[in-house]
Chain A
Amino acid sequence: GDSVTQMEGPVTLSEEAFLTINCTYTATGYPSLFWYVQYPGEGLQLLLKATKADDKGSNKGFEATYRKETTSFHLEKGSVQVSDSAVYFCALINFGNEKLTFGTGTRLTIIP
């Protein structure tokens, strides 16, 4: 079946550091890929998405590129802020299935 593997946390970085959170997937066909973010005390929110190979999703300075050849969708940000501290989930939805498959989540803490 479909699965998503993302790097284990927690990840702690200093403000303005470069961020990468790795995500790889296993799926048949051509899934859509997502990054969700959960800030403390809030529900998951869609951060960005990509629906086909080589698409780049971006939002709030975060980017992720759909790489079919490496089945990856790594999340990156050039300069993180304290307000980026949250849990980040990589996910996919495979049409025909229409259900989100999530990774384990990665807790990110940014220290000033």
Chain B
Amino acid sequence: GAVVSQHPSRVICKSGTSVKIECRSLDFQATTMFWYRQFPKQSLMLMATSNEGSKATYEQGVEKDKFLINHASLTLSTLTVTSAHPEDSSFYICSASRDRSNEKLFFGSGTQLSVL
């Protein structure tokens, strides 16, 4: 089946630094990529939707200046957490859709971010 690679799987950083997470679709071109975050014992929450070559659409309450999303190609999207703080510590996961229905999504394995 289709594979989505997400890197890194785990990152620890100091408060105030920026962290970049990559999401690649390895064997298909993704029309749309999604970024989610999950706090302990809570649901996966959609942060933003990105289409190649256009600006990401952020969900209500997600700071677009803090969570920068770049979808430079049909196989790569990046999420940069800028000036990270401890409250940004969370599990981040990306998914990619290969068709417009978005019913069939392929997920990365997630990134556990810990901000000290």
- Which A positions have Cβ atoms within 8 angstroms of B? 4, 8, 32, 36, 38, 41-46, 49, 89, 93, 98-105
With A104-B41, A104-B43 known as contacts, the answer to whether A43 contacts B107 (CB < 8 A) is: yes
B102 adjacent to A102 (CB under 8 Å): no
Q: Are B106 and A43 in contact (CB under 8 A)?
A: yes
Shortest B77–chain A CB gap in Å is 14
Contact B93 A44 (CB under 8 A): yes
Contact in complex: A99, B49 (CB < 8 Å): yes
10 A-B contacts, Cβ less than 8 Å apart? A43-B93, A43-B95, A43-B106, A43-B107, A93-B102, A98-B102, A102-B36, A102-B44, A104-B41, A104-B42
Residue pair A42, B43 in contact (C-beta under 8 Å): no
Contact of A43 among B34, B43, B46, B108 (CB under 8 A): B108
Q: A32-B103, A46-B104 are in contact. Are A41 and B44 (CB under 8 A)?
A: no
Known: A43-B108, A101-B46, A103-B43. 7 other contacts (CB 8 A): A43-B109, A44-B105, A89-B44, A93-B102, A93-B103, A98-B102, A104-B42
Instruction: Please give, as numbers and ranges, the residues of chain A lying within 8 Å of B110 by CB-CB distance.
Output: 43
Q: Dominant SS at the A interface?
A: strand
Q: How far is the CA of A4 from the CA of B46 in the complex (A)?
A: 13
Q: Does B76 contact A (CB under 8 A)?
A: no
Report the bound CA distance from A78 to B73 in whole Å: 44
Mask: chain B, 82-116; 1 = CB below 8 Å from A; 0 = not: 00000000000101000001111111111000000
A8 touches B41 (CB 8 A): yes
Query: Which chain B positions have C-beta within 8 A of A41?
Result: 9, 109
Closest Cβ of chain B: how far from A13's Cβ, in Å? 20
B6 within 8 A of A: yes
Q: Does B4 contact A (CB under 8 A)?
A: yes
What residues of A have a CB within 8 angstroms of the CB of B9 in the complex?
A: 41
Interface string of B43-73 (1 = CB under 8 A from A): 1111001000000000000000000000000
Q: Specify which chain B residues have a CB less than 8 angstroms from the CB of A100 in the assembled complex.
A: 34, 46, 102, 105
On whether the beta carbons of B104 and A43 are closer than 8 Å, the reply is no
Q: State A102–B47 Cα separation when bound (angstroms).
A: 13
